[in-house]
Structure 1
Amino acid sequence: MKIIHKLVLLIFFLSANTKAQNTTAPIKLIDILLTTSHPDWNYKLNEEATVKISVLRYGSAVENVEIEYQYGPEQLAPEKKGTLKLTHGIGEINIGTMNTPGFRQLKVQTKIDGYVYKNEIKVGFAPFEIQPTVKMPNDFDRFWEKAKAENSKIPMDAVITHKPELSTPTVDVYLVRLQNYKLGHYLYGYLSKPKDDKKHPVLFNPPGAGVKKINPITSYVDDGFISFNTEIHGVSPETNETDFQEIRKQLTDYWAIHLEDKDNYYYKSVYLGCVRAIDFLTSLPEFDQKNVVVTGGSQGGALTMVTAGIDKRVNYIAAFYPALCDNSGYLHDRAGGWPHMFSDKHKNNSPEKLQTMEYYDVVNFAKKIKIPGFYSAGYNDNTCPPTSTLSAFNSVKAPKEIVITPISAHWRFGETNAQSIKWLQQKCGIE
């Protein structure tokens, strides 16, 4: 037994030691640094944009390196491709201009010692003048008022289960099941409440895209909120793995399910589920009866704006790089939002699908927002391109502020996130 025990310890030590020796490097061996001629990456219409390219190894320029480049309107076929030799590791490319508001994108790559290194950058031309391409249906308000009225007749039938194993010394966590959209149709979420028996603002945190099991998010409680983070597919986080994987297969490209039918489109239950989440939060005895907040990113950013546009109980929102914005952009030769449903002009491009999209595009909900909002986006985002996200932001007529970190892709800096929380706390009077 002692010999076996020693062998187990030796195997564990060797395994841990091997992993330590093969830890992935946190930085790249070769950096391609792209620097715009304007530090904010913004240009006027008809002004040409120049990008400086530096290929660096250990922070120093790589001599006599050749790069491949291509540039043009973001997310579309490039206007020009070419190669450029950087004698001293530094060069410049004029990527042109635009006479209408939008973004241009430069992609570069080089091969050094058999390895390919890439980078890209987008610059904006009058980005805060971008206007959406999607149309507003004449009966948009009637459509959603009817849908909400029908949903209100469905009993919430809340099942709230305390989860001591997920709770902390200061936070109680509950798994919640809510009935929504149809009898027997449910959504799930985790409610996190402070253990202080006091009244608090409530915060709804809708999820990003995909089909995945949710975990409780207790950090918002530390910020002074009662929070509720949800999924959208009716999948309990306690579903066994076999069943869960089967559900994932069935919901591949869920955004396209019944896209031809506005009354039964997949996102109808999702949007109404956001209203149901507010129903639940405002029913809690610990709700301060004043402050209802929504925040999320990507699909969660879209649902944040949708909830604000559809539910007057919401007081403040913080939306990051929202998806589902100006989906018809590709049909007008510019980038549309995730899920890029019309990026192939010959796919999904039917009158019925285009009409349905108009009732669900975030731009049209943005036009209905009447409350203060905090927004944020990055220019290097290819998932939710800035042309699409800014078309929605520019459509908001309510008080708003935006933090642009142009270098960001489909993520946000911790500093920006902290700024959004502080903004929400100030609005809700949390000290």
Structure 2
Amino acid sequence: MKKVLFSFCFLLVLLVGSSLGLEAQPAQKLVNVVVSPDRTDWKYKQKEEVTFTVQVFRNENLLKDVVVDYEVGPEYFPVKKEADVLLKNGKITLKGSMNEPGFLRCKVIAKVDGRNYEGMATVAVDEEKIRPTTADPKDFDSFWKQAIEDARKTSLDPKMVLMPERCTSTQNVYHVSFQNERPRSRMYGILVVPKKEGVYPAILQVPGAGIRPYNGMNLGDDVITLEIGIHGIPVNMPQEVYNNLASGALNGYPGINKNDRDAHYYKRVYLGCVRAVDFIFSLPEFDGSTVGVTGGSQGGALSIVTAGLDSRIKFLAAFYPALCDYAGYLHLRAGGWPHYYRNAKPGPNEVETLAYFDVVNFARRVNAPGWYSWGYNDVTCPPTSMYSAYNVIPGAKELHLYLETGHWTYPEQNAAWFQWLKEMYK
């Protein structure tokens, strides 16, 4: 019986991980490029030399006479680059160091039979000393306090439509919507409610980036879950509709009005997360107190934002949060997704506006206990950007590192997340 229960929970974790927008572990390739730091914890101090051992394998043996390109340096700012280096024995040693806190990356591309195979290792350099480069606006709190008060002048006007095809013997599943920051601006989601009479804790799931339908998050029969979309459109339409929006009206949505704090796209998104908590509190099946928030990437960011804005959040779990420390690139270090300034200079009032939406400034205000998890090889949400937020969180926090991961998770990582959530709402 225990084995059956474990198998069910493991499958549930995989399914939930998929709905969180977490990327699956990459498949094994024919040629494997292994980059190994000389310390098992991948942690160093400023000015310490780091030695990377690079090995290129095929059929589990070192590949002789292989040609590689490599670069070594801070994320996105390599200081040493070489192309077409011949490795007679399939192996090379590279060295590097940093004079300030951050992350040092060694990336190697092996070129075999017309194909490129990439490997990397990214090591921490006094990572606990990383601090945000984005300014904390003096009126940050008053701006968001007023925005939430103004949004709540609009009634929730909740609508719930039962989805019989998704219901189970123990759960009711609804397609729901409620008004957000102004009349007829609605948020949509999938609500899962236990059928058994009683009151329950609740989890708000906030989404990763993109435009797509949602299936809802099923964590079991002892908790309410609400999975929301952020774009103000139903979340149960055909995939073609979302594809068209992604290529059309919502293309590049993170950059919409990024020079106007009252019109920036993420303002209604952040307010919609708070309104989602309002909606949860309106449910008769909710226990009136125990509510957490979780998500990955953009959803990791929104988890921190929601906890920073709403003191009703009792706990949060965030995978590799995006939207952290946009201004990093202006200080010659990696900034967070969507990398506004990686390849472009800021326009008038952009830096000032985006400070009101940067996750680091919500992180400064998170007092709820949190579970966080990421890896050092993430190129979508660079670890420098994530640590800039994590290091300023005042609340209780625990960081679960899976060093070699990029913007993806291991099943064991998802299982740890699932277990922590269960412990928090039990």
Deviations 1:77-103 (A, max 9, x none): 543324543332222111x11111001
Q: CA deviation at 1:378?
A: 0.8
Does 2:35 match 1:37? Answer: no
Judge conservation of contact 2:213–2:239 (CA < 8 Å) in 1. Answer: no
Paired residue secondary structure (1:250): coil
2:299 corresponds to: 300
- Which position in structure 2 is the counterpart of 1:381? 378
Structure 2 residue aligned with 1:335? 334
Does the Cα contact within 8 Å between 1:221 and 1:227 map onto a contact in 2? no
AA aligned to 2:235 is P
Q: CA deviation at 1:173?
A: 0.7
Question: Which deviates the most, 112-121 or 204-213?
Answer: 112-121
Mapped partners of 1:376, 1:241: distance in 2:
30
| 1:416, distance to aligned residue in structure 2 (A) | 1.7
TM-score (norm 2): 0.90
Percent sequence identity is 41
**What displacement does 1:243 show?**
4.8
* Whole-angstrom distance in 1 between the partners of 2:240 and 2:314: 41
Displacement of 1:65 after TM fit?
A: 2.2
Give the structure 2 partner of residue 284 of structure 1.
283
Whichever residue aligns with residue 35 of structure 2, its letter is L
* In 2: Cα distance, 1:44 partner to 1:78 partner: 18
Number of aligned residues: 400
Output one character per residue of 1:344-367: Cα deviation in whole Å (capped at 9) or x when no partner. Answer: 242xx1341111101010000000
Per-residue deviation at 1:242? 5.8
Give me the whole-angstrom Cα distance separating, in 1, the residues matched to 2:115 and 2:303. Answer: 41
CA distance in 2, matches of 1:148, 1:367: 18
Structure 1: stretches of 5+ with no match in the other structure: 1-24
CA positional deviation for 1:260: 1.1
Question: Which residue is equivalent to 1:102?
Answer: 102
> Partner of 1:236 in structure 2?
234
| Bigger radius of gyration among the two | 1
Provide the C-alpha distance between the structure 1 equivalents of 2:410 and 2:147, rounded to a whole number of angstroms: 37
Asked whether 1:141 is paired with 2:138, we answer no
Q: Which residue of 1 aligns with 2:77?
A: 76
Distance 1:97 1:71 in 2: 9
- Show the counterpart of 2:182: 182
Structure 2 gap segments, 5+ residues each: 1-25
CA distance, structure 2, for counterparts of residue 374 and residue 166 of structure 1: 30
Give the aligned CA root-mean-square deviation in angstroms: 1.7
Aligned position for 1:390 = 387
Q: Distance in 1 between matches of 2:148 and 2:401?
A: 34
1:93 corresponds to 2:91: no
Give SS of 1:360's match: coil
CA distance in 1, matches of 2:385, 2:280: 31
Q: Name the TM-score, length of structure 1 as normaliser.
A: 0.89
Match of 1:194 in 2: 194
Counterpart in the other structure of 1:362: 359
**Which letter maps to 2:207?**
P
**Structure 1 counterpart of 2:63:** 62
2:299 aligned with 1:313: no
Q: Distance in 1 between matches of 2:251 and 2:344?
A: 21
For 1:74 and 1:241, the matched residues in 2 are separated by 35
Equivalent position SS for 2:356: helix
Counterparts of 2:323 and 2:356, CA distance in 1: 11
User: Aligned in 2, Cα 1:272/1:423: closer, same or farther, shift over 3 Å?
Assistant: same
- Whole-angstrom CA distance in 2 between matches of 1:407 and 1:153: 47
Deviations 1:323-360 (A, max 9, x none): 100000000000000000111242xx134111110101
TM-aligned CA deviation for residue 238 of structure 1? 3.6
The answer to whether residue 159 in structure 2 is matched with residue 159 in structure 1 is yes
State the SS of the aligned residue for 1:271: helix
Partner residue, 1:126 = 126
Q: Which residue of 2 aligns with 1:415?
A: 412
Q: Which has the higher contact order (CA 8 A, sep 6+)?
A: 2
Say if 2:57 and 2:63, in contact at 8 Å, map to a contact too: yes
Contact 1:32 1:56 in 2 (8 A): yes
Q: Is the 2:65–2:86 contact (alpha carbons within 8 Å) kept by the matching residues of 1?
A: yes
